[in-house]
């Protein structure tokens, strides 16, 4: 299989605009909170689309007419977005010793062309048509920076410093805080001072990385672009850190320079992403790893709840929304939140997993006063199913267990993972070892390209994201 490059130039640009006007292209943005499986989702989605005989049965909602998929083809995106390396990543999963792909660190994209026709009664109606499905992969950390655009440098700094007064951030922040306290931010800015700023900024970024890594798995980390800088890596607008408020910041001081860079970050980095890319998205799926949040404890779970509130802010349009400063009209017309790693719990637990994420999203909507016609849809997903559910008899009771290869093992095991709560756990429910869901290795034996990758729930998500686009 090869990837067909789209022709560039003026004619290509006009053709793209025409396809958009004719609703022949749907741009689906894919993101998620840390380690939620964004890359796996795009690999599996493209894989399913390239196996048309296994695609879900699409039906036009207004008429009930069936859609016949005639064929699909992989394309590069026609714009300047770097290509998503589908074939390379698929090969790594089909290897004799498969490995999970590395996480997304920048915007990437891929296009799948779907040739189809509408079936009406016994006869097909009209000529063949083509729908282009563009999948845009970007780090979820970038969504967490939108609220920064509505804050001053002093207000943002105070927010971060307040977070660092509570565990686990309090312990993790000591190194960069000590270095920051030793710097006189009211001194005149100079080359020597800039070297010190760069050193403390690196320490602050390392602090964010420790918060994100095991065993904490925190989600609400700002600036997200510090963790995933993409093309902005090493640039001046990413070279600042939070400092305590000053009575009067003199012109030309270190504080004034940090404040200037903060304002540049808001406009040149965060603003550019929303204006240049976010405004062009048609639909959005946000992947959420609720399983890992439960494993990591109440602080991580509450932090994820806060992150969901911030993510939803990116989809609150209108006069009171932060997005009004970038563009005035609603572009994204469908928003899906999906609880990933559904194969880490038995099938009977999927209803609870969906209910838990639904409650978390509803709590986030209530907290920020999210009022919009864009109502989030909740799904359960495993982009690449690694386990199977089996029933086991234990002390006179039948238990739903998982059969798979846990991380750190070399052979399949049968495990009882416990239960997913249908609602966020209360304080007294976070007992010792309350949740211990295992991580599983990719399945072996995916070398055949004749069969699509095994999954859970991806067909329902495809119906939701593109089903109404077949005209």
Query: Does 342 score more than 80 pLDDT?
Result: yes
CA 464 to CA 59: how far, in whole Å?
11
DSSP string, 157-179: HHHHHHHTTSTTHHHHTHHHHHH
CA 144 to CA 159: how far, in whole Å?
14
CA 141 to CA 229: how far, in whole Å?
10
Q: Do 309 and 370 belong to one domain?
A: yes
In a domain, 394, yes or no: no
With CA atoms as reference, report the closest residue to 146 among 301, 311, 5: 311
Query: Does 322 score more than 80 pLDDT?
Result: no
**Do 389 and 382 contact (CB within 8 A), yes or no?**
no
Query: What is the CATH classification number for the domain harbouring 99?
Result: 3.40.50.300
Q: What is the pLDDT of residue 99?
A: 85
CA 361 to CA 307: how far, in whole Å?
10
Question: Average pLDDT in the 435-446 region?
Answer: 90
Number of domains into which the chain is organized: 2
**Do 443 and 386 contact (CB within 8 A), yes or no?**
yes
**Do 370 and 340 contact (CB within 8 A), yes or no?**
no
Query: Does 329 score more than 90 pLDDT?
Result: no
CA 10 to CA 45: how far, in whole Å?
30
Q: What is the pLDDT of residue 1?
A: 53
With CA atoms as reference, report the closest residue to 249 among 187, 335, 327, 175: 187
Q: What share of the chain is helix, strand, coil (3-state, %, to 5)?
A: 40, 20, 40
Query: Does 17 score more than 70 pLDDT?
Result: no
Q: Do 452 and 306 belong to one domain?
A: yes
Length of the chain: 471
**Do 251 and 206 contact (CB within 8 A), yes or no?**
no
Q: Positive or negative, the Cα torsion across 215, 216, 217, 223?
A: negative
> pLDDT category, 259, cuts 50, 70, 90?
very high
CA 373 to CA 49: how far, in whole Å?
29
Kind of pairing between the strands at 283-288 and 123-137: unpaired
Q: Which stretch of DSSP H or E encloses residue 43?
A: helix 38-49
Q: Do 101 and 172 belong to one domain?
A: no
Q: Do 198 and 69 belong to one domain?
A: no
Q: What is the pLDDT of residue 221?
A: 96
Q: Do 28 and 100 belong to one domain?
A: yes
CA 130 to CA 115: how far, in whole Å?
4
Q: Do 80 and 190 belong to one domain?
A: no
> pLDDT category, 15, cuts 50, 70, 90?
low
pTM comes to: 0.90
Question: Average pLDDT in the 167-191 region?
Answer: 95
> pLDDT category, 320, cuts 50, 70, 90?
low
In a domain, 222, yes or no: yes
Boundary residue ending a domain (217, 241, 275): 275
In a domain, 427, yes or no: no
CA 419 to CA 47: how far, in whole Å?
31
Q: Do 256 and 353 belong to one domain?
A: no
- Identify the residue with better confidence: 435 or 61: 435
Q: Which range has the worst mean pLDDT, 40-44, 164-168, 229-233, 253-257?
A: 229-233
In a domain, 435, yes or no: no
Contacts of 315 (CB under 8 A, 6+ apart): 284, 332, 335, 370, 372, 374, 376
Query: Does 173 score more than 70 pLDDT?
Result: yes
Q: What is the pLDDT of residue 297?
A: 92
**Do 153 and 271 contact (CB within 8 A), yes or no?**
no
Q: Which stretch of DSSP H or E encloses residue 353?
A: helix 350-368
Q: Do 269 and 298 belong to one domain?
A: no
**Do 126 and 93 contact (CB within 8 A), yes or no?**
no
Q: Do 312 and 169 belong to one domain?
A: no
Range 264-293 burial, b when 16+ CB lie within 10 A, else e: bbbebbbbebbeebbebbbbbbbbbbbbbb
Query: Does 465 score more than 90 pLDDT?
Result: yes
Q: What is the pLDDT of residue 432?
A: 64
CA 253 to CA 205: how far, in whole Å?
23
In a domain, 267, yes or no: yes
Q: What is the pLDDT of residue 3?
A: 54
Query: Does 370 score more than 60 pLDDT?
Result: yes
In a domain, 437, yes or no: no
With CA atoms as reference, report the closest residue to 66 among 75, 57, 79: 57
C-alpha Rg value of the chain to the nearest Å: 24
Q: Do 60 and 73 belong to one domain?
A: yes
Query: Does 191 score more than 60 pLDDT?
Result: yes
- Identify the residue with better confidence: 430 or 208: 208
Query: Does 449 score more than 80 pLDDT?
Result: no
CB count, 10 Å around CB of 155? 11
Q: Which range has the worst mean pLDDT, 117-126, 141-150, 372-381?
A: 117-126
Query: Does 319 score more than 70 pLDDT?
Result: no
Tokens of 294: 């439960």
Contacts of 373 (CB under 8 A, 6+ apart): none
Tokens of 253: 């001081």
Boundary residue ending a domain (230, 252, 275): 275
Query: Does 395 score more than 70 pLDDT?
Result: yes
Boundary residue ending a domain (240, 260, 275): 275
Query: In what side-by-side order are the strands of the sheet with 388-394?
Result: 388-394, 397-404, 413-415
Residue 16 domain boundaries: 10-138+277-385+445-469
Q: Do 334 and 270 belong to one domain?
A: no
Query: Does 318 score more than 90 pLDDT?
Result: no
Q: What is the pLDDT of residue 163?
A: 96
- Identify the residue with better confidence: 153 or 324: 153
Q: What is the pLDDT of residue 366?
A: 92
Q: Give the three-class secondary structure for 29.
A: strand
In a domain, 440, yes or no: no
Q: Do 378 and 284 belong to one domain?
A: yes
Beta pairing partners, 156: none
Query: Does 122 score more than 80 pLDDT?
Result: no
CB count, 10 Å around CB of 303? 23
Q: What is the pLDDT of residue 346?
A: 96
In a domain, 399, yes or no: no
Question: Average pLDDT in the 103-110 region?
Answer: 86
């Amino acid at each position: 299989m090869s990837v067909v490059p789209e022709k560039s130039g003026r004619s290509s640009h006009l053709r793209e605009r025409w396809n958009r006007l004719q609703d022949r292209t749907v741009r689906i943005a894919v993101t998620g909170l840390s380690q939620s499986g964004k890359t796996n989702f795009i690999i599996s989605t493209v894989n399913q689309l390239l196996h048309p005989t296994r695609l879900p049965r699409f039906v036009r909602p207004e008429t009930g007419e069936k859609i016949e998929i005639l064929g699909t083809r992989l394309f590069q995106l026609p714009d300047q977005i770097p290509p998503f390396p589908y074939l390379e990543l698929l090969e790594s999963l089909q290897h004799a010793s498969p490995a999970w792909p590395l996480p997304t660190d920048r915007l990437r994209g891929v296009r799948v062309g779907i040739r189809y026709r509408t079936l009406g009664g016994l006869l097909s109606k009209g000529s063949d048509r083509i729908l282009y499905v563009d999948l845009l992969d970007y780090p979820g950390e970038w969504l967490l920076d939108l609220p920064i655009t509505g804050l001053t440098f002093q207000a943002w700094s105070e927010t971060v410093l307040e977070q660092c007064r509570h565990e686990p951030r309090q312990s993790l922040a000591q190194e960069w805080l000590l270095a920051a306290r030793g710097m006189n931010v009211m001194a005149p800015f100079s080359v020597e001072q800039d070297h010190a700023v760069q050193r403390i900024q690196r320490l602050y970024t390392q602090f964010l990385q420790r918060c994100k890594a095991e065993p904490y798995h925190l989600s609400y980390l700002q600036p997200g672009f510090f963790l995933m800088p993409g093309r902005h890596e090493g640039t001046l607008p990413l070279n600042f850190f939070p400092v305590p408020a000053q009575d009067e910041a003199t012109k030309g001081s270190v504080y004034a320079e940090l404040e200037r860079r903060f304002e540049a970050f808001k406009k040149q980095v965060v603003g550019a992403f929303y204006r240049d890319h976010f405004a062009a998205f048609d639909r959005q799926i946000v992947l959420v790893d609720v399983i890992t949040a439960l494993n990591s404890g109440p602080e991580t779970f509450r932090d994820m709840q806060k992150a969901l509130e911030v993510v939803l802010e990116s989809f609150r349009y209108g006069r009171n929304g932060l997005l009004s400063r970038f563009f005035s009209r609603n572009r994204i017309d469908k928003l899906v939140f999906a609880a990933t790693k559904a194969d880490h719990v038995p099938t009977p637990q999927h209803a609870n997993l969906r209910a838990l994420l639904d409650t978390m999203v509803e709590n986030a909507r209530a907290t920020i006063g999210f009022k919009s016609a864009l109502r989030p849809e909740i799904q359960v997903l495993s982009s690449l199913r690694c386990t199977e559910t089996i029933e086991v008899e234990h002390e006179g009771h039948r238990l739903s267990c998982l059969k798979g290869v846990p991380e750190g093992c070399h052979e399949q095991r049968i495990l009882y993972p416990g239960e997913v709560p249908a609602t966020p756990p209360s304080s007294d429910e976070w007992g010792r070892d309350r949740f211990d869901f295992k991580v599983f290795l990719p399945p072996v034996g995916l070398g055949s390209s004749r069969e699509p990758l095994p999954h859970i729930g991806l067909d329902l998500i495809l119906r939701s994201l593109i089903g109404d686009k077949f005209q």
